[in-house]
């Protein structure tokens, strides 16, 4: 019995390999016939257009797009002389066709308009301004406030130090004989050892080659996290990149005062209005 079943199974496997099996798992059903071969070579060729037959076959698959594609290819590779009657090029308006309509220009690909991409500072910081600090005209400061309460103190665009013709001679964080911002040491989670600053607390002094001296204030209440020592060795970056590498200091306000510190500051729009009024007043006096 076992030998007969084994021979039967071997015969079934052999017939399966030959694709001539009529029984499958004990059930009488015909072996599935192979699908008819696709007519891959059925290409409709336009004898009047000298293009690649394969390209015409791709156009024929597109259905309604076929005449347009044929016409586009015919314009590139069509032989010299007038097109035959009824040809798509004649229909679209060839100069030699009777009653030809004006040729319609095909739409080109839309040109991507480069949108103004915001800078890293504009994406993650909010600009606040303090105009005429300590009553000194045009000595404006810019405060970049991050969402985590950190404020970066920088110079505003209209500050005299950033105007053309100014050359920075030196920068000093030595506020007085007994106070230096370079001695600020911060440690731990609660920022122990940080110097506490008020709105009018001086941060540094800038000395220019023309003898002018400018004092940069904090403009916000909080703890001094760090100062930018790079501007001591290379003061020019304060003028070249005032909002990034040329910042003055970083201040961390108190949590309960993080929203109230901006009450006395100007938004960017308000500050631009102040600058416009200045320029108008200067023009009127001159």
pLDDT more than 90, % of the chain: 41
Find tokens 């037959």 and name the residue.
Answer: 53
Find tokens 């506490």 and name the residue.
Answer: 196
CA distance linking residue 59 with residue 39, whole number of Å: 16
- What pLDDT shows up at residue 282? 84
CB 250 within 8 A of CB 151: yes
CA distance linking residue 206 with residue 121, whole number of Å: 24
User: Residues for the chain: how many in total?
Assistant: 286
- What pLDDT shows up at residue 58? 55
CB 22 within 8 A of CB 30: yes
Upper half-sphere CA count for residue 247 (Cβ side, 13 Å): 19
Find tokens 């890293």 and name the residue.
Answer: 120
Question: What's this model's pTM, rounded to 2 decimal places?
Answer: 0.59
Where does the chain have alpha helices with state H? 2-17, 53-61, 66-77, 88-91, 120-124, 230-233, 236-240, 268-285
* Lookup: tokens for 252: 């961390």
CB 112 within 8 A of CB 119: no
pLDDT tens, residue by residue, 46-85: 555 555 555 555 555 555 445 544 555 555 555 555 656 6
CB 59 within 8 A of CB 51: no
Burial 131-167 (b: 16+ CB within 10 A, else e): bebeeeeebbbbbbbeeebbbbbbbbebbbbbeeebe
CA distance linking residue 79 with residue 64, whole number of Å: 24
pLDDT tens, residue by residue, 76-112: 555 555 656 655 544 444 444 444 444 544 444 444 4
CA distance linking residue 181 with residue 153, whole number of Å: 14
pLDDT tens, residue by residue, 14-28: 555 554 444 444 555
CB 218 within 8 A of CB 143: no
Bridge-partner residues for 215, per DSSP?
205
pLDDT tens, residue by residue, 101-150: 445 444 444 444 455 778 888 899 999 999 999 999 899 999 999 989 89
């Amino acid at each position: 019995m076992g030998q007969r079943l084994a021979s039967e199974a071997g015969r079934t496997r052999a017939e399966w390999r030959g694709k001539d099996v009529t029984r499958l798992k004990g059930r009488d059903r015909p072996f599935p016939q192979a699908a008819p071969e696709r007519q891959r070579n059925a290409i409709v060729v336009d004898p009047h257009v000298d293009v690649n037959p394969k390209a015409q076959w791709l156009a024929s698959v597109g259905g309604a797009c076929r005449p347009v594609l044929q016409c586009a290819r015919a314009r590139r590779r069509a032989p010299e002389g007038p097109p035959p009657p009824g040809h798509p090029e004649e229909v679209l308006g060839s100069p030699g066709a009777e009653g030809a309509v004006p040729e319609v220009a095909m739409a080109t690909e839309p040109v991507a308009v480069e949108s103004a991409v915001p800078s890293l500072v504009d994406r993650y910081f909010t600009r606040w301004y303090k105009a005429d600090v300590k009553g000194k005209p045009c000595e404006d400061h810019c405060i970049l406030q991050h969402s985590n309460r950190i404020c970066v103190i920088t110079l505003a665009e209209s500050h005299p130090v950033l105007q053309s013709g100014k050359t920075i001679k030196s920068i000093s964080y030595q506020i007085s004989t007994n106070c230096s911002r370079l001695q600020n040491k911060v440690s731990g989670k609660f920022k122990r050892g940080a110097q506490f600053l008020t709105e009018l607390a001086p941060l540094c002094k800038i000395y220019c080659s023309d003898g002018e001296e400018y004092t940069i204030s904090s403009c916000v209440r909080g703890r001094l996290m760090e100062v930018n020592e790079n501007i001591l060795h290379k003061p020019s970056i304060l003028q070249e990149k005032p909002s990034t590498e040329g910042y003055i200091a970083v201040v961390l306000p108190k949590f309960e005062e993080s929203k109230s510190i901006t009450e006395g500051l100007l938004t960017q729009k308000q500050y631009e209005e102040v600058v416009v009024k200045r320029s108008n007043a200067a023009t009127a006096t001159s």
